[in-house]
Chains A and B, each alone.
Chain A
Amino acid sequence: MRTIAAALAATLLGAVPLAGAAAPVADKIAPLPPYVAAYQPTNVDERGAWMMADEYERHLRDSPEVIRDPALNAYVRGVLCRTVGDDRCKGVRLYILHIPAFNASMTANGAMTIWSGALLRLRSEAELGAVLGHEFGHFELRHTVEGFRNQRRGTDVMAWASVLMTNSAALQVGVLGSLYRFDRGQEQAADMLGVRYLAGSGYPAAAAADVWERMMSEADATAIGRHRKADQRYTAGFFATHPTELSRATYLRAFASGVDGGGSAEGVRYREALAPWLPMLLTDQIKRNDFGGSEYLLGRLAADGWTTPLLFARGELYRERGNPRDLVNAAEFYEQAIERGDAPPEAQRGLGLALLRGQQTDAGKAALREYLRRKPDAADASIISTLVAS
């Protein structure tokens, strides 16, 4: 696997100054490329790319999806700054988007986004730093404009081939494949630069590989939950814009094994910082209709024991699926959450609804009455009271 990745990187990264997994061990801890603060775009293509990014960012800045909480923003920015260094992070505008999937992005002009779904899935500051460092790598390596130029070159060749050659299908397919290979090469280069930031930050570099290994496990759990075959691939498909998660985990792990172990991953501090957001993140996740993946995530989050928000979310997850056996489990999870004493009123509501549907009318109504007592002005108070009265 490693040799495939290395060969790939060596042949494809011509335009990218960082030679990915092909770098020998001694090179891995080479100093980072010199960084110019307040970089300004230089040529027509780059200035054009920045203009488009500026327009996009105006839109992003005012978007209702942005989570603007100052404390959360300061925390995530702090992790970025520790990972890539203060001089690099200063110019970055960071937007935390309320989208319950695992993703992050970087524009040509240095506007970074990270999605709330990523915050739920990451487990430590080191892992968050790995993701943010990867995105910053795209910016530092000027990937947007390079990618655009590559795309333009490739499609130009294809356009001419389609007009001038009698049978150009094979050539066109070849060029098309190279366009996606180039994207994958850029992703790998950003991965490698990102993990180098991480290695220099005092966070353990191994965290970058951990992210991808867990993403694979979650994808498998999702597939099994949906009665599909787990589909982890060894090599990237023709149209893949990113290397497979397996190859990313492999080359990142290989890099990490060659450098210092690093300090603490700061998992506890991460959990504490995200604790106020956990209920919202879990609610979003439950709504994704992904029983297998959600159950896997809850299991990982509960590695150190089931807390009230996790138990409540698990109750919601089971009640949502709603088989008779699920309702029994759901009621149990709600009860465990309630026993801990700090459950939200909604736990009583969930318990009541689960019990009602499980034919335990009296106990169910009692729980619903308790919900209404604790939250008389709930949005669904009137419909719940009709259930109690029925």
Chain B
Amino acid sequence: MSKAWGVVLAAWMLVMVVAMPAQAQEKTGIKPGFTLKPGTARIVLLRPAIKVGAQSTAGLFEPNADWTAQARENIGRSLAKAQGGLGNSVVECSEPIGADAAMLAEYQDLFDTVVQSVIEFQFFPGNRLPTKKRKDQFEWGLGDGLARLPAFAGADYALFVTTEDHFGSTGRKVLQVFAALARVPVTAGVHKGFAGLVDLRTGELVWLNADMQMGGDVRDAEGADKRVRQLLEGFPGRPVPAPVAVASAH
């Protein structure tokens, strides 16, 4: 009972010799025609999912509570700064209790699932579902039940933010060098994140940015600023409207 590591380890040797696939995929999606006039929207920020730690020599994630706490503080501050610059008001979602908490948790799970689907079945062109092949199309949603949650009362949009950082340990980096000599590709470090904006009236996912190779060290304030800038890349509420396209980066 419990603590079943599964057979994950069994695939270990395989993982060691197979190179990570090149991340040649799109990063940003936006609902065609969607604009957010600066200074008009009330945005609820859900508790960001933040995980920071090290990457062991063999690639295991070593969670680090201190780094995560620092990152949570830094990213929170940077987000408030960035959105303030856009003139939008961002309020942090109060933690509900009882049935509302369960409902909110389910929506958070649903959001994660939808985001994974967008990344897998739309952002990665080789894997695109037949219904997602039309150009300039971005049609994903969570259903229209969101507005009924008291936590979202009076708000227009919900902002979801997730980041995950595995900083390559010294051992991992040394291994990378030796592995390169042996012509085995080994990557050091994982830095990924995504941010999405959901229209609370319709439940539509109106903007999503997902980046599997992010910059900025979230453990310090400047790095967090950079990370948040990258997370909000293509955010519809930019003061200077950027060219909006489904495919923003390859």
Contacts and interface: CB of A to CB of B under 8 A. Distances in A.
Interface string B54-90: 0011111011111010000000000000000000000
Interface string B25-49: 0000000000000000000000001
Contacts of B65: 41, 44, 47-48, 50-51
Contact of A48 (B49, B63, B101, B182): B63
Nearest to A60: B105
B193 interface: no
A19 interface: no
B248 to A, nearest CB: 31
A159 B62 contact: no
B16 interface: yes
Interface string A175-186: 010011001001
B62 A152 contact: yes
A79 to B, nearest CB: 16
A378 interface: no
Contact of B184 (A131, A163, A183, A187): A163
Given A155-B60, A162-B13, A163-B175, A105 B3 contact: yes
B107 to A, nearest CB: 11
Nearest to B10: A239
A151 B186 CA distance: 19
B242 to A, nearest CB: 34
Given A48-B64, A49-B63, A156 B1 contact: no
Contacts of A50: 65
A105 B1 contact: yes
B153 interface: no
B175 A103 contact: no
Nearest to A164: B178
Interface in A45-65: 45, 47-52, 55, 59, 61-64
A309 B64 CA distance: 50
B20 interface: no
Nearest to A155: B58
A62 B101 CA distance: 6
Nearest to B100: A62
Interface string B173-193: 001001100101010000000
Contacts of B13: 158, 162, 169, 172
Given A48-B62, A62-B104, A156 B7 contact: no
A64 B98 CA distance: 11
B9 to A, nearest CB: 6
Contact of A159 (B58, B68, B101, B102): B58
A64 B62 contact: no
Contacts of A61: 101
A186 B1 CA distance: 11
B105 A59 contact: yes
A55 B72 CA distance: 13
Given A48-B64, A62-B104, A158-B58, A176 B5 contact: no
Contacts of A163: 175, 178-179, 182, 184, 186
B125 to A, nearest CB: 32
Contact of B105 (A63, A103, A183): A63
A321 B135 CA distance: 50
Interface string A370-390: 000000000000000000000
B53 interface: yes
Contacts of B57: 155-156, 159-160
Contacts of B144: none
A381 to B, nearest CB: 27
Contacts of B7: 239
A186 B3 contact: yes
A60 to B, nearest CB: 9
Contact of B9 (A41, A135, A179): A179
B240 interface: no
Residue of A64, A156, A164, A183 with highest tally of chain B CB at under 10 A: A156
A13 B63 CA distance: 25
A169 B17 CA distance: 13
A241 interface: yes
A130 to B, nearest CB: 11
Instruction: Please list the 7 inter-chain residue pairs (A to B) with the smallest Cβ-Cβ separation, ordered nearest first.
Output: A155-B58, A48-B63, A62-B105, A105-B2, A159-B58, A51-B65, A47-B65
25 contacts: A44-B65, A47-B66, A48-B62, A48-B64, A49-B63, A50-B65, A51-B65, A51-B68, A62-B104, A62-B105, A106-B2, A106-B3, A131-B1, A143-B3, A151-B60, A155-B58, A155-B60, A160-B57, A163-B175, A169-B13, A176-B10, A179-B5, A186-B3, A239-B10, A241-B5
Interface of B: 1-5, 7, 9-10, 12-13, 16-17, 49, 51, 53, 56-60, 62-66, 68, 101-102, 104-106, 171, 175, 178-179, 182, 184, 186
